[in-house]
Amino acid sequence: MKPERLLLMATGSLSRWYASGTSSKDTWRKPMDDQFATAQKMREALRTRRVSAQELLEWHLKRIKRYNQEINAIVVLTEEQACQRAAEADAALARGVSLGPLHGLPVTIKDCIEVAGMPTTAGVPQRTHTISTTTAPVAQSILDAGTVLLGKTNLPPYATDWQTSNPLFGRTNNPWDLTRTPGGSTGGGAAALAAGLTALELGSDLAGSLRIPAAFCGVYGHRPSETAVPRSGHIPGSPLENPAVVMNVMGPLARSAADLEMALSIIAEPIVGERVAWQLQFPPPRHTRLADFRVAILPPVPWLPVDGEILSALDDLAARLRHMGVRVEEIKPEGFDLWKHHEAYCQLLSAIIFADVSAEERAQIVELLRQSPDPFAGAQEAGVSAPVSQFLAMLEQRECYRALFREFFGDFDVLVAPVTVTSAFKHISDQIPRVKRTIQVNGRTVPYTLLPVYAGLATYSGLPATVFPWGKT
């Protein structure tokens, strides 16, 4: 991507990556950028009183007021409450009291995750005036850690698109290039992070909704294991404290891997109601030396083109790992077929997404799918129309893939694949139904709905997945 306008903050581990796209005339670079490159650095500056929570908040508010109008990432700004919270954080620290491990750190939350007393619109007009009466457990954990909530970030309606635009707040633009999408559905959060408007973002992911925006905006994202964090308090979703959620999870976006680890350590816990019975504790890493890790790289498939620059970046990553003594193999799990896997994933995903629609809406969806260029439209239609008995069969098939990956990860520690088939593309009108959209990849026309093929690898089996920037497209 060659940015027409750069609004990015050159920070920390990303600063060298961003530097090639900046010029001496860029006025958004501040002397404190490196000091506040990551959430960890901000936390340390707060702890050692090199900056106060109020000063750090003011720095972020100035950036929001300067850049957010063009990016449109933060759509609910809680400035008054944030100022009060920052003042409380400073007063507490003056007394020698910490509010938590993220004391005074400015954060944002995706506008489909409930926070009591705040709107949770999920990007749809019918929820314009809906004020949440409860707070999602993951959001509560972030708030209880001592953070300063800046506000909520934009998303597509009901978090169901790989772009970010809705009738309430409009379109979010990629800070690298305002004519391109930041991805979706946590596009507002990824754009806010990339532009230096927040220190951490709490988002969600069902079909790449954390990972695709992270890739498009050049930040870090983590989809936790399906059972690692509580899943209630998400819209759409069940109002129950312990909803039987399949595949959808909430997780962090950040500007470094260490920030992801820090955020995950705070939100990971048993679901509500089970905390009295057990506690979550992550196992230690399998290895402590990089050279001891066994890395698998998923081979490409002829039916799914991937942008050449992305493939080159993967090759470069593999070469560097080998140079450092890491065992790297291009290999897939025995018996694994990406086509069949995505077919099964599409069927279950459609069954989940459209479970509550009316018979009339179901018929309209089926009609649209029959006009789609997506070769997996038939699987999606089967999911939309599936009876309960078929849904149970889908879950059983899912367990087969979970077992396959468990065996595979006995021999390998990491499976590396593209996040998606392309880098951030030009905005596509949201008036065009998703099933009719196409994108260009290496000169080939590709159905838009193939964007989550690689994201489905982790989603379908409930696996954790981390996105990190490598190179620049």
**Would you write out the chain's pLDDT as a tens digit for each of its 473 residues?**
333 323 333 222 223 223 333 333 343 334 345 656 899 999 999 999 999 999 999 999 999 999 999 999 999 999 999 999 999 999 999 999 999 999 999 999 999 999 999 999 999 999 999 999 999 999 999 999 999 999 999 999 999 999 999 999 999 999 999 999 999 999 999 999 999 999 999 999 999 999 999 999 999 999 999 999 999 999 999 777 777 689 999 999 999 999 999 999 999 998 877 777 888 888 898 999 999 999 999 999 999 999 999 999 999 999 999 999 999 999 999 999 999 999 999 999 999 999 888 999 999 999 999 999 999 999 999 999 999 889 999 999 999 999 999 999 999 999 999 999 999 999 999 999 999 999 999 999 999 999 999 999 999 999 999 999 998 88
| The two structure tokens encoding residue 468 | 């990190």
Instruction: Classify residue 87 as exposed, middle or buried by CB count within 10 Å of its CB (0-12, 13-18, 19+).
Output: middle
Half-sphere exposure of 460 (CA within 13 A, CB side): 30
| The two structure tokens encoding residue 365 | 């969806």
Q: Is the separation of the CB atoms in 201 and 107 below 8 Å?
A: yes
Q: Is the separation of the CB atoms in 152 and 112 below 8 Å?
A: no
| Cα three-residue angle 5-148-141, rounded to 5 degrees | 115
The alpha carbon of 225 is separated from its chain's Cα centroid by a whole number of angstroms, namely: 13
What is the pTM for the complete model shown? 0.92
Sequential DSSP letters for 371-394: T---TTHHHHHHHHT--HHHHHHH
- Whether 350 is catalytic is no
- Whether 185 is catalytic is yes
| The two structure tokens encoding residue 51 | 């900056």
CA distance 398 to 404: 10
Catalytic annotation, pick one of 52, 141, 204, 209: 209
- Cβ–Cβ contacts within 10 Å for residue 162, how many? 27
Domains of the chain: 12-267 (3.90.1300.10), 290-463 (3.90.1300.10)
- Whether 256 is catalytic is no
Catalytic annotation, pick one of 52, 141, 165, 185: 185
